[in-house]
Amino acid sequence: MTALELIRDKRDGRALSDEAIRFLVRGATDGSIPDYQLAAWLMAVRLRGMTESETTTLTLAMAASGRQLDLSSIPGRKVDKHSTGGVGDKATLVVAPLVAAAGVPVAKLSGRALGHSGGTLDKLEAITGFRVDLGIDEFIAQVRTIGIAIAGQTADMVPADKVFYALRDATATVDSVPLIASSVMSKKLAAGADAILLDVKAGGGAFVATVPEAETLARALVTLGTDAGRETVAYVTDMEQPLGRAVGNALEVREAIDTLAGRGPGDLEGLSLRLAAEMLRLAGARPADLRGLLMGGAALRKFAELITAQGGDPRVIEDPDRLPRAPVQRAVPATAAGYLARANALEIALAGKALGAGRDRRDAPIDLAVGIVLQKKIGDPVVKGEPLAVIHARTPADAEKVANRVAASFAIAERASPRPLLLRRVTTSGVERLDM
């Protein structure tokens, strides 16, 4: 068996055997198959697709390519939550402490920003002293002690995915459903949870642009998780406009704190409550008064516990001004009256990245203070001259550089209705429409 044979087979539309797929994953992990052949195989997959059986084998082989977490020493049924990536998506910062405050353990491995999508680890590092690099034993001990930990994936977990991910990013094969599904689920399976909740974003600010594409991906993810023996549920949620109002690391932490205190944006709070309730169900826990945990301060106190346990400054909870702050704030005014009809999530994210809030390479520096805060969401009434957004920049020149781009991301019309956020719920039983 050679890589060339497997490239040819996939190029010609033939399904690969389990043995062949495991051979490719081993070759990616140990470097015995060169990048140019792996890249050719990825392009063949992008063009020809994979069967359900092939995708399952690829996922399991990738999950087994490195260390897998054993969370069995943590009492209770553990549930992992993952988002496929969006703009202003700080839901993990709300959902994880909320679920932990309800008594369900949360052992969460998260990632960093890449491209236009934000990363949970970068956001947490906006809190002075917060450590995201925890050893496995330390990670598990923390969950046992306080019920929650959020950290980065260790270097020896799913090494095959690191190889494939970098090549996909460099070869225009990121949007292949089998490759997305195997990448997401191999990491989730290696993370050791008993059940998995997925938030699949759909829209211009997501990696899949349409609801049918997102539904296809959600079905694939649920099938993979179920075939691996993990109860898996996926939601498809809207990403035509940013989630909440803040886009940018410290700005999003501030908004998460507001939401945990019961005063956050309605869309972020609503999504967080729905996902938290689903996590409780997957954990086999009794329903809890989740809104009460927000309004009563229990969820916010749990976030403070998390910050303290991982070396951060918990005073940020009471004094969010301790977060990094950009010295320049520039409003983007409306040029007409009416109703907001568009808030282009991708353009807003790219403007934020141009300010320094994102990165194109995993090792690139990031400015934790900068970003954009929306003052209006789709469907809101608009008065001419009032701000649609506020740019938070390092210098006036930086703000000027993106002002026109931010302004052009909005459109005002005579009429516009709010967009539904929750679109689909996907389980092994089928697809439930939520936007009717």
Q: What mean pLDDT do residues 65-85 have?
A: 90
Element (H, E) at 159: helix 159-170
Residues 314 and 337 grouped into a single domain: no
Catalytic residue among 112, 123, 187, 353: 187
Residues 148 and 220 grouped into a single domain: yes
Residues 288 and 348 grouped into a single domain: no
Compute CA distances 279 → 4, 332, 416, whole Å. 44, 38, 33
Is 161 considered catalytic here?
yes
Cβ atoms of 219 and 426 within 8 Å: the answer is yes
Catalytic residue among 176, 182, 183, 272: 183
Q: Does residue 88 belong to any structural domain of this protein?
A: yes
Residues 189 and 259 grouped into a single domain: yes
Catalytic residue among 78, 81, 108, 168: 168
Location of structure tokens 């001004």? 321
Q: Does residue 62 belong to any structural domain of this protein?
A: no
Residues 264 and 382 grouped into a single domain: no
Is 82 considered catalytic here?
yes
Is 359 considered catalytic here?
no
- Looking at the structure of the chain, the number of domains it has is 3
Q: Does residue 395 belong to any structural domain of this protein?
A: yes
pLDDT above 90: percentage of residues in the chain: 83
Q: Does residue 58 belong to any structural domain of this protein?
A: no
For β-strands 195-202 and 231-238, DSSP reports them as parallel
Q: What angle do CA 339, 334, 254 make, to 5 degrees?
A: 90
Residues 135 and 272 grouped into a single domain: yes
Range of the domain at 35: 3-49
Q: Does residue 374 belong to any structural domain of this protein?
A: yes
Question: What residues pair up with 39 in beta bridges, in sequence order?
Answer: none
Q: What mean pLDDT do residues 143-149 have?
A: 94
Residues 335 and 305 grouped into a single domain: no
Element (H, E) at 332: strand 328-333
Reported confidence tier of residue 156, pLDDT bands at 50, 70, 90: confident
Residues 34 and 129 grouped into a single domain: no
Q: Does residue 70 belong to any structural domain of this protein?
A: no
Reported confidence tier of residue 252, pLDDT bands at 50, 70, 90: very high
Residues 409 and 427 grouped into a single domain: no
Whichever domain contains 375, its CATH number is 3.90.1170.30
Catalytic residue among 78, 81, 82, 342: 82
Q: Does residue 57 belong to any structural domain of this protein?
A: no
Q: Does residue 63 belong to any structural domain of this protein?
A: no
Catalytic residue among 89, 122, 161, 238: 161
Whichever domain contains 37, its CATH number is 1.20.970.10
Residues 304 and 333 grouped into a single domain: no
Burial of residue 52, with CB atoms counted within 10 A of its CB: 0-12 exposed, 13-18 middle, 19 or more buried: middle
Q: What is the pLDDT of residue 362?
A: 64
Whichever domain contains 218, its CATH number is 3.40.1030.10
Write the pLDDT tens digit of every residue in 173-229.
887 889 989 988 998 999 899 999 999 999 999 888 999 999 999 999 999 999 899
Write the pLDDT tens digit of every residue in 409-427.
999 999 999 999 999 999 9
Write the pLDDT tens digit of every residue in 300-320.
999 999 999 999 999 999 999
21 Cβ partners below 8 Å, 6+ apart?
54, 57, 58, 61
Residues 409 and 426 grouped into a single domain: no
Reported confidence tier of residue 169, pLDDT bands at 50, 70, 90: confident
Cβ atoms of 402 and 351 within 8 Å: the answer is yes
Is 219 considered catalytic here?
no
Picking from 143, 145, 146, 122, the residue whose alpha carbon sits closest to that of residue 132 is 122
What is the C-alpha to C-alpha distance for residues 136 and 406, in angstroms, rounded to an integer? 42
Picking from 85, 141, 74, the residue whose alpha carbon sits closest to that of residue 111 is 85
Is 183 considered catalytic here?
yes
What is the C-alpha to C-alpha distance for residues 375 and 269, in angstroms, rounded to an integer? 17
Residues 226 and 333 grouped into a single domain: no
And the tokens for 164? 């494939």
